[in-house]
Amino acid sequence: KDDRKAAIGFMKFLFWFQSLPQFTVALCQGSAMGSGIALLCACDMALSVSAARFTVSEVKLGFCPATLAPFLTRKVGTGNAKRLLCTAENISAEQGKQMGLLSDVVDDEADFSAYMASICEKITSCAPIAMGRAKRLVQNVSLQPLSLKLLEYTGGELADIRIGEEAITGMVAVQAREKPPWADPPIKPLY
């Protein structure tokens, strides 16, 4: 009973983390296994050093990786998730990028700073509420069949955010050829 409660608690944490309105980036300085991979999957973007390796080895221990399966499957797709979860294959960073587990791979840890500075520069120009809504929109439409209900939902999201204060402020800034208020001060990387 305690194992079940702990597993559900960890999955709830991953869901909460991936649902944050802020754009999240994982920086993987070394190899990741099991729950470490789940944390990568919960982030919007994952960056790794080229020497890192990734594996989900629970099946070698006699149990299944249930806590990370929903997050890994959504991140890398069904075929790649089965490959990783059922074979316990130890993959390289480049293989992780090809599968969609990683957004990018850098040579070494020293390259994180420049990469993150570039990401922060891009994010600075994005309206924070709109970015959070865009993240939620992606989560809500992901893997949904294209249907009238889905089109009505996305159209409703657009109509709703377009009349918000942030959108109005952004349009005024564009027309005035000025930076929007959220672009100052610029976001700076912590790494």
Structure tokens at 118: 């570039």
Q: Is 32 exposed, middle or buried (0-12, 13-18, 19+ CB in 10 A)?
A: buried
Place of tokens 């000025």: 178
Query: Do the beta carbons of residue 31 and residue 52 sit within 8 Å?
Result: yes
- Lowest-pLDDT choice from 31-35, 53-57, 162-166, 186-190: 186-190
Query: Do the beta carbons of residue 48 and residue 75 sit within 8 Å?
Result: no
Query: Is the pLDDT at 23 greater than 90, yes or no?
Result: yes
Structure tokens at 177: 């050829």
What rounded mean pLDDT belongs to the chain?
93
Mean pLDDT of 171-191: 89
* Confidence label for 90 from pLDDT (cuts 50, 70 and 90): very high
**Calpha distance 27→101 (Å, rounded):** 12
pLDDT for 25? 96
Three-state DSSP class for 126?
Answer: coil
Query: Is the pLDDT at 158 greater than 70, yes or no?
Result: yes
Backbone angles phi, psi at 72, to 5 degrees: -65, -45
